[in-house]
Amino acid sequence: MAVLSDPKSNHLLAALPDAEWQRWLPSLEPVALPLGKVLYESGGKLTHVYFSTTAIVSLLYVMENGASAEIAVVGNEGIVGISLFMGGGSTPSRAIVQSAGHGFRLKASLMMEEFNRAGPVLHLLLRYTQALITQMAQTAVCNRHHTLDQQLCRWLLLSLDRLHSSELVMTQELIANMLGVRREGVTEAAGQLHKAGLIRYQRGRITVLDRDGLEQRTCECYAVVKKEYDRLLPALLAR
């Protein structure tokens, strides 16, 4: 995989009007996003916003006792660091790379300048934020009502949608952290999916064999989120 991927692999960047694109290009700084890299810390000030091209980033809340839960996931469809332009400049959550890859970043000050032009950039970012809000809301619902198996399916599907392959480099331990459950629970649920022939895996590497099967097993939450992203950001998905 090339270190320098195309910025237009990020759907938000790709959706920029030409004027903005030309203006931003020189300032877009390519960055490697290795597994576990923390893009911002809970309560920390944002220095950059990130546009992933091939990585997946989790927005994670870590509790006082060390337990954690994923709030939302961002891939090449979005931007990491919305609290910058929403106001406040920080959030109580952490952004951490969940699947290694590359991306681009933009200085916070520049981002703010662009946002404050109050043109298409602002509207694009707010629509994306609205989609992200839906994902968070649905995460709350899912955490309340659905089984671990269903949630695992949802999580795999959301991750797949944000990747280019059907293979996830991801240990069960990591997945457990994201879902906020025990690793053993993930082992068990993954075992079910394996038995059902939907996935295959070897030590930190999950291959999805039957995407439709996963969709049938998961709860409605996945479809709700997917539909809302498609509705709010159609241009981005056209690519």
Q: In what order do the strands lie in the sheet with 94-99?
A: 38-40, 94-99, 56-62, 68-74
91 binds, among DNA, its own copies, none (CB under 5 to 8 A by kind): its own copies
Interface residue with DNA, options 204, 207, 216, 227 (CB under 7 A) = 204
Binding window for its own copies (CB under 8 A); candidates: 20-28, 99-107, 138-146, 183-191: 138-146
Of 191, 207, 227, 237, which lies in the binding site for DNA, with binding defined by CB under 7 A?
Answer: 191
User: Cβ contacts of residue 180 below 8 Å, gap of 6+?
Assistant: 67, 68, 69, 70, 143
Q: How far is CA 101 from CA 1, 3, 40, 57, 185, in A?
A: 9, 9, 17, 10, 27
Cα→Cα distances 130→73, 138, 149, 212, Å: 14, 12, 27, 27
Region of 81 please: left (phi>0), alpha (psi -120 to 50) or beta: left
The rounded distance, in Å, linking the Cα atoms of 141 and 156 is 17
- Asked if 213 interacts with DNA (CB under 7 A), we say no
Minimum distance of DNA from residue 96's CB (angstroms): 15
- Does the protein bind DNA through residue 64 (CB under 7 A)? no
Q: Which CB, 32 or 86, lies closer to DNA? A: 32
Stretch binding its own copies (CB under 8 A), from 48-56, 136-144, 185-193, 196-204: 136-144
Q: Does 203 bind DNA (CB under 7 A)?
A: yes
Count CA atoms within 13 Å of residue 27 on its CB side.
Answer: 17
Residue with Cβ nearer its own copies (28 or 112): 112
Q: Cβ–Cβ contacts within 10 Å for residue 129, how many?
A: 17
Neighbour-count burial for 140-178, b at 16+ CB within 10 Å, e otherwise: eebeeebebbbbbbbbbbbbbbbbeeeebebbbebbbbb
State the nearest-atom distance from the C-beta of 140 to DNA, in Å.
14
What minimum distance in Å lies between the beta carbon of 109 and its own copies? Answer: 17
Residue 189: CB minimum distance to its own copies, A: 15
Does position 127 interact with its own copies (CB under 8 A)? The reply is yes
Q: Which residues bind DNA (CB under 7 A)?
A: 147-149, 171-173, 180-185, 187-188, 190-191, 194, 201-204
Q: Which residues bind its own copies (CB under 8 A)?
A: 59, 61, 63-64, 67, 69, 71-72, 83, 85-88, 91-93, 116, 118, 122-123, 126-127, 129-130, 133-134, 136-141, 143-145, 180, 220, 224, 228, 231-232
